[in-house]
């Protein structure tokens, strides 16, 4: 039965992508983040579902006129240069077979972003893309939150099978990153019941993140809560609710959960934490001795005894300082750009949406930057989706700002025309 449902859904996505290619971009996001075919039981699990859908989108894109040129934004150029540099470092890797295999895997993640940049050519389509990403992960997160509450947080919550965030620690960060996206989705809703359901999903997702038993997720959760409260228009209501939630949840969390969180204070006694420090030290030393090439993809197998467990160390050790500078500029530069865009459009009623979108997207990026201090997720598709969404927000905001300026300029000229 599940196989039939997934096949029907896939068929619907294919028809949608043929009819309107930008719907294919949304469909790719669904199958990338929710991975619905992994929940089937039969032959559908082994079908190359994503590849089938991808090929349909490729054909539809090159036959449609409803698209735009790739936006002229520095982040697009940096992203391309980063991919080229990955190719260079792969040629220098001491683990050629493993590195090239990983390089092509990352390339497959990067290619579909071309369709995001060209087919998402209006603010409405951008809203639907943000909503699709948020809902795709949010549905699984809410399911995990309900499970966590029902089991008294005694079992860990894991992500959708076959995705880049199947692991409990990775899924926890992904869940927290999509909360701001769900709030953007809620902002544009007209249905009051759906708005309330979306808002109610936030504490449920928090519960799922808690039940991941991830120490990095706890730090990310604290940072996200602070950001949301500090930018809330109803602090008098939000702050008491947070305290009530903390007071209620702490009595249900098992002692083992507190014991795991306590290791952040006594990390010297924790084998996992000390193992990460060793890996980080080895990665740094290798990057210093090979500043332009690093050790290539999956280079930890050559340099140290375990995975990097940090996106920052991962990109630095595997590709050197140049790649790290390009990669980090996408993160930090997007945060700066979103902040400047908020200031530029502040006080313009027609562009009120820009400030909110920038605020929420910035919160999501900060969640990534904090959460991946302890997780190697440098090549995560969700990160690059956020970066390119920031690119599109800027594009549409500046276009609307130019239209408003032109309209106001025309009105001023009209007023100066003498009456006869």
Write out the two tokens for 420.
Answer: 């006869």
Contact status, residue 129 vs residue 21, Cβ threshold 8 Å: no
d(CA 182, CA 163): 20
Instruction: Name the pLDDT band for 387 (thresholds 50, 70, 90).
Output: very high
Write out the two tokens for 124.
Answer: 């409405």
What is the pLDDT averaged over residues 372-377? 90
pLDDT at position 292: 96
CA gyration radius, the chain: 23
pLDDT at 265 over 90: no
Higher pLDDT, 248 or 26: 26
pLDDT at position 106: 95
Instruction: Name the pLDDT band for 181 (thresholds 50, 70, 90).
Output: very high
Instruction: Name the pLDDT band for 192 (thresholds 50, 70, 90).
Output: very high
d(CA 168, CA 165): 7
Write out the two tokens for 38.
Answer: 């992994």
Residues 2-24 have pLDDT tens digits of: 778 888 888 899 999 999 999 99
What is the pLDDT averaged over residues 269-277? 73
pLDDT at position 50: 85
Instruction: Name the pLDDT band for 163 (thresholds 50, 70, 90).
Output: confident
Contact status, residue 386 vs residue 337, Cβ threshold 8 Å: no
pLDDT at position 383: 95
Residues 119-131 have pLDDT tens digits of: 999 999 999 999 9
d(CA 75, CA 20): 27
Report the chain's terminal Cα–Cα distance, integer Å.
Answer: 77
Residues 67-92 have pLDDT tens digits of: 999 999 999 999 999 999 999 999 99
State how far the alpha carbon of 172 is from the alpha carbons of 142, 178, 214, in Å: 12, 10, 7
pLDDT at 343 over 70: yes
**160 in helix, strand or coil?**
coil
pLDDT at position 315: 96
pLDDT at position 156: 84
H runs (alpha helix) in 151-188: 168-187
d(CA 156, CA 152): 10
The burial class, CB within 10 Å (0-12 / 13-18 / 19+), for 390 is buried
Higher pLDDT, 295 or 34: 295
Per the prediction, the chain carries an average pLDDT of 88
Residues 95-114 have pLDDT tens digits of: 999 999 999 999 999 999 99
What is the pLDDT averaged over residues 222-243? 75
| Dihedral class, residue 304 (left if φ above 0, else alpha if ψ from -120 to 50, else beta) | beta
Share of the chain above pLDDT 90, in %: 60
pLDDT at position 419: 46
Q: Helix axis angle, 311-345 relative to 352-371, nearest 10°?
A: 160
Higher pLDDT, 338 or 409: 338
Closest-CA residue to 374 (of 210, 193, 215) = 215
Helices (H) and strands (E) in the chain, counts: 17, 0
Rounded to 5 degrees, what angle do the CA atoms 267, 273, 274 make? Answer: 90
pLDDT at 246 over 90: no
pLDDT at 248 over 80: no
What is the pLDDT averaged over residues 173-193? 94
pLDDT at position 420: 38
d(CA 181, CA 187): 10
Closest-CA residue to 366 (of 338, 341, 340) = 338
Length of the chain: 420
Closest-CA residue to 366 (of 183, 239, 223) = 223
d(CA 241, CA 363): 20
Say which range, 80-84, 216-220, 367-371, 399-403, has the weakest mean pLDDT: 216-220
């Amino acid at each position: 039965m599940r196989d039939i449902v997934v096949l029907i859904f896939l068929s619907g996505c294919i028809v949608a992508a043929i009819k309107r290619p930008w719907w294919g971009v949304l469909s790719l996001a669904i199958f990338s983040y929710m991975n619905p075919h992994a929940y089937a039981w039969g032959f559908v699990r082994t079908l190359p579902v994503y590849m089938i859908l991808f090929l349909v989108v490729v054909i539809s894109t090159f036959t449609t006129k409803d698209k735009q040129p790739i936006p002229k934004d520095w982040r697009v150029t940096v992203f391309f240069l980063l991919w080229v540099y990955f190719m260079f470092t792969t040629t220098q890797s001491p683990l050629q077979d493993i590195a090239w295999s990983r390089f092509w895997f990352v390339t497959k993640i990067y290619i579909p972003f071309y369709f995001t940049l060209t087919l998402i050519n209006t603010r409405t389509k951008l809203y639907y893309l943000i909503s699709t990403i948020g809902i795709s992960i949010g549905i699984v997160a809410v399911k995990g939150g309900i499970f966590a509450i029902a089991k008294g947080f005694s079992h860990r919550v894991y992500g959708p099978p076959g995705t880049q965030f199947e692991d409990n620690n990775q899924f926890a960060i992904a869940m927290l990153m999509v909360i701001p996206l769900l709030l953007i989705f809620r902002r544009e809703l007209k249905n009051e019941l759906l708005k309330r359901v979306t808002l109610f999903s936030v504490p449920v997702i928090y519960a799922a993140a808690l039940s991941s038993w991830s120490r990095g997720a706890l730090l990310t959760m604290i940072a996200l809560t602070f950001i949301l409260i500090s930018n809330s228009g109803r602090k008098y209501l939000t702050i008491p609710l947070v305290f009530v939630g903390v007071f209620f949840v702490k009595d249900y969390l098992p002692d083992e959960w507190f014991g795991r969180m306590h290791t952040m204070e006594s990390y010297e006694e924790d084998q996992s934490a000390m193992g990460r420090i060793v890996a980080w030290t080895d990665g740094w030393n290798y990057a210093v001795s090979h500043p332009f090439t690093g050790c290539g993809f999956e280079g930890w197998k050559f340099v140290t005894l375990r995975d990097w467990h940090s996106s920052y160390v991962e990109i630095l050790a595997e590709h050197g300082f140049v790649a790290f500078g390009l990669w980090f500029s996408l993160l930090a530069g997007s945060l700066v750009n979103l902040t400047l865009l908020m200031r530029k459009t502040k006080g313009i009623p027609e562009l009120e949406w820009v400030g909110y979108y920038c605020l929420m997207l910035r919160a999501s990026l900060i969640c990534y930057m904090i959460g991946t201090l302890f997780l190697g997720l440098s090549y995560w598709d969700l990160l690059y989706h956020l970066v390119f969404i920031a690119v599109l927000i800027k594009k549409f905001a500046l276009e609307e700002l130019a239209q408003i300026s032109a309209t106001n300029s025309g009105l001023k000229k009209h007023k100066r025309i003498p009456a006869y």
